[in-house]
Amino acid sequence: MKYVPSKIVLVGTGAVGMAYAYALVNQGICDELVLIDLNEAKSRADVLDLNHGEAWAPSPVSVSFGSYDDCRDAAMVVVCAGAAQKPGETRLDIADINLRIFREIVQRVTASGFDGIYLVATNPVDVLTYATWRFSGLPAEQVLGSGTTLDTARLRFHLARRFEVSTSNVHALIIGEHGDSELPVWSAASVAGRSMSRRIAAEPALRAELDAIFQRTRDAAYEIIDAKGSTSYGIGMSLARITRAILKNEKAILPVSTLLRGEYGHDDVCVGVPTILSRGGAKHVVELDLDGDEQRAFDASVATLRGFRERVDALL
């Protein structure tokens, strides 16, 4: 199937979907963007709203409302549709309803002849990325989720403020489930060229600070959802960053949710791990040298996700 190299179809135009769409247009990441949503009137208004800003965008982007037939020649289908997490709910609490929604979405995308890259944003993103891979029948490289990209951005924000440097000088990752069992990889972290392990050795009290920073990072979504109902801007920008890495064939390393096939001692599960992204999707999983505590925490995070495979199997 021939596809348009810079065409994206976005399924789901709620708060997350439109934050992503705005980031795409504002950064000039794609040439063509097609929106699909059950609420056609609202989505058509979103199309108008985005088009009215084209004069100030860095490059022209054709934005339109469409149908699943538009997926046929798309380079990427990005899925933001589904039930949203409510105050007091975890991401895993909404798995069953969103699995059913995703089965229908993937069936309709597949019927179009789509053979590009899926990018999943809906929660629980690791479960739904795995489900999308199983439902679609596409190679694993062509199906990925936002994973812990947003969590990593949150962590880097807090560390940059703590050490009074730019976020570009912070190298730290969150891996595992995009959820309560995620973990920071302090053993591979550095700020302004100095490893976190050396910083902790020189300042033992820093460890408690880092623990507090991680807890705030992990629980950030709950704080935002309680106050305004949903997260949107951070995840929209994270999805745009992933999209740029793929469409521009950057070979950038980002912690997306992708299928493990023996890496980190696990297989047949999608989870957030650093991955080289290219035009073909998830090119290669980067295996970090986790310390003992980190490996155990990662194993526990994977175990949390494995329990959902039977629910996916039941829908095949």
Catalytic residue flag (residue 284): no
Residues 74 and 8 sit within 8 Å (Cβ to Cβ): yes
For 121, residues 6+ apart whose C-beta sits below 8 A from its C-beta are: 16, 17, 20, 78, 79, 80, 145, 146, 235, 239
Q: Which of 314, 305, 218, 215 is nearest to 267 (CA)?
A: 305
As given in the structure block, the two tokens for residue 101 are 């929604």
- Rounded distance between C-alpha atoms, residue 124 and residue 285, angstroms: 21
Task: Return the structure tokens found at 287.
Answer: 């295996």
Among 52, 158, 178, 266, the active-site one is 178
In the chain, % helix, strand, coil (3-state, to 5) comes to 50, 20, 30
Structural contact between residues 71 and 57, judged by C-beta atoms closer than 8 angstroms: no
Question: What is the rounded CA–CA span in Å between residue 285 and residue 264?
Answer: 10
Catalytic residue set: 178
